[in-house]
Amino acid sequence: MSDQMRNNDEKAEMASSSQQPGSGNSSVSSKHDDPPPTFQPGRRFYLAFLALAVLTLMVALDGTSLSVALPVVAQALRGSALEAFWSGTSFLLASTVFQPSFAQLSHVFGRVQMVMVAIALFFAGVMMAAVAKDFTLLLAGRTVQGIIALTEIMVTDLVPLRYRGQWAGIIGGCWAIGSVSGPVIGGAFAEVSWRWIFWLNLPFIGVSCVMVPLFIRLKLAPDSLIRKLKRVDWIGSVIFVGSACSFLIPVTWGGVMYDWSSWKTLVPLIVGAVGMLAFAAYERFVPAEPLLMSSLFANRTINLGWVFATLHGVILWMLLYYQPLYFEAVRGYKPIIAGVALFPATFTVAPLSIITGLIITKTGRYRWSIWSGWAVATLGLGLLVIWDINSSIPEWLFTELVSGIGLGILFPSLLYQIQAAAKPEDVSFAAALFSFFRAFGQAIGVAIGGAIFQNEMQKNLLKTPRFADQAAALAKDAAALVQIIHNASADDQVVLKTAYTDSLRTIYIVLCALSGICLIASLFIQKYDINIGLETEQGLMAGKRAERVATEPKVAV
């Protein structure tokens, strides 16, 4: 590369990370919005962003690919249903509860440093799971693998808010592609060797280990190790992680492994809820740099954003879990084909996420996308109610397409709502908390759906003399019921499929209601100016030559 080309690239990097005068904070927009900040991404930016995309795709694939292969894994390792359940749940649990802690550690020690720590942990988890000869090592590996989630935070260090939608949309698109491809890939490998589900991660890990330190070079103010260690809210992190685990663990097993009325479910739920209250009080009065600042809950718009992020996770995850079960139980499809049948709802998420981000960047307006996203999602979820055991392929294909469009529009939109309403110095923490609430919604989504399905399925089976005495046992697990339906006689299959579809219909009604509530609530979010320069302590560094030019005193001519 010539010196001229290098200079041009470095100037572009400096322009992309410069702070622009104007709003200075996320105050409510005036009649005349500030002009958009300058953003001219260069080669280093594109390579850095490619590294983030690879990380996102890796985590999304790994998070969903094992679920389809769990019966094969359980048989190979001679594991129980409980162990198989936790091998799928432990990854999601870890990726949820460690979000705020990793955000603060990255703020103190540096984003890139913590990403490399997370990649090292992910690699260790992959190796543990891939060579596991029993479920103990597999569960440990899956838990360690879940401790990686900083990509959305790093986007806030690289891109000004006005332009963030299109790039956050790409990250969301990678996540969506990985999430919906994971079950298909996992099902394919399960027929060959389930261990390849984990070996598949090694190329991604290798690419990330090279690209992240090579291309993502962020600024970080120098400080001593002792001072950095003192800045971390260690006590708050322990209280938060412990309380979140205590709350989420019984939520995931309630009604499946233990009844909701069992002390094994109620006691940890109560302990977790009390612990979160204690955490809130501790954060309010004790640490100098709290894990979660009170300013992250300072206004109506940002608080509604947390609710929307949670319910978006609930809706998305319930669809990803229960719609394939419809195709397997009612249509009789194999798991791989069921995953393909879900494509109209899932593969629309990625392109709509990117397109919405581009439009927001072009117009400088974001509230329209939140309103339209919830409106289209509500319509799509309502259309799912018409599904029955005789629904034709065009019928379910076009109806599930609508919900995918709505949920795809919301991916970048909700990020804008939260980051525009947050203070500039809180944006990275807001991104981490957004990821936490979305993952929290995913974790409780399946539990909510499970509770609804069990109640409805039991009620429907009690109406049929043939299955009335088995109603409680059959309704306990929607996934286990799939094989029972396949093995039943033709007449019994009709009864069970009808009850199954009617139970899923109630889930769709609840999801439609939740989306409708969000649509109404979204009318109350305020407008904020998104024409804000990049205000971050860890912006992308340009080359040494550009840094030297930037620090030289300006001479008036």
Over 70: is that where the pLDDT of 85 sits? no
Same domain for 282 and 389, yes or no, is no
Last residue of a domain, one of 270, 288, 306: 288
Same domain for 390 and 243, yes or no, is no
Last residue of a domain, one of 288, 319, 354: 288
Same domain for 379 and 526, yes or no, is yes
For residue 393 the two structure tokens come to: 């392929």
288 secondary structure, DSSP code: S
Same domain for 490 and 475, yes or no, is yes
52 part of a folded domain: yes
Nearest to 420 by CA among 316, 520, 304: 304
Last residue of a domain, one of 288, 305, 328: 288
pLDDT recorded at residue 506: 92
DSSP per residue, 175-243? HHHHHHHHHHHHHHHHTT-TTHHHHTHHHHHHHHHHHHHHH--B------HHHHHHHS-HHHHHHHHHH
A 10 A CB-CB count for 219 gives 15
Over 70: is that where the pLDDT of 33 sits? no
pLDDT recorded at residue 16: 43
In single-letter form, the type of residue at position 465 comes to P
Structural domains counted in the chain:
2
Same domain for 502 and 542, yes or no, is yes
pLDDT recorded at residue 17: 41
The Cα angle at residue 433 between residues 430 and 435, in degrees rounded to 5: 110
Q: What's the average model confidence in pLDDT over 472-497? A: 81
108 Cβ contact partners less than 8 Å away, ≥ 6 residues apart: 228, 231, 232
The per-residue pLDDT for range 239-268, each reduced to its tens digit, is 998 998 888 888 877 766 777 788 888 899
Same domain for 411 and 464, yes or no, is yes
pTM of the model: 0.80
Q: What's the average model confidence in pLDDT over 197-226? A: 82
Same domain for 340 and 271, yes or no, is no
320 Cβ contact partners less than 8 Å away, ≥ 6 residues apart: 64, 179, 180, 342, 346
Q: What's the average model confidence in pLDDT over 333-360? A: 81
The per-residue pLDDT for range 437-455, each reduced to its tens digit, is 888 888 788 778 888 888 8
pLDDT recorded at residue 275: 93
A 10 A CB-CB count for 127 gives 18
The Cα angle at residue 33 between residues 27 and 34, in degrees rounded to 5: 90
pLDDT recorded at residue 541: 64
127 part of a folded domain: yes
556 part of a folded domain: no
Mean pLDDT of the chain: 79
Same domain for 171 and 186, yes or no, is yes
The per-residue pLDDT for range 506-555, each reduced to its tens digit, is 999 999 999 999 999 999 999 888 877 777 666 666 554 434 433 333 33
244 part of a folded domain: yes
Same domain for 262 and 382, yes or no, is no
A 10 A CB-CB count for 24 gives 13
Same domain for 256 and 110, yes or no, is no
159 part of a folded domain: yes
Same domain for 198 and 332, yes or no, is yes
pLDDT recorded at residue 82: 63
DSSP per residue, 114-127? HHHHHHHHHHHHHH
pLDDT recorded at residue 88: 67
175 part of a folded domain: yes
Rounded Cα–Cα distance for residues 498 and 115 (Å): 48
pLDDT recorded at residue 39: 72
Question: Which CATH number goes with the domain that contains 27?
Answer: 1.20.1250.20
For the chain, the C-alpha Rg in angstroms (whole number) is 24
Instruction: Tell me which residue range forms the domain holding 186.
Output: 3-232+289-551
250 part of a folded domain: yes
Same domain for 155 and 20, yes or no, is yes
Interior/surface letters 82-115, b for 16+ CB within 10 angstroms, e for the rest? ebbbbbbbbbbbbbbbbbbbbbbbbbbbbbbebb
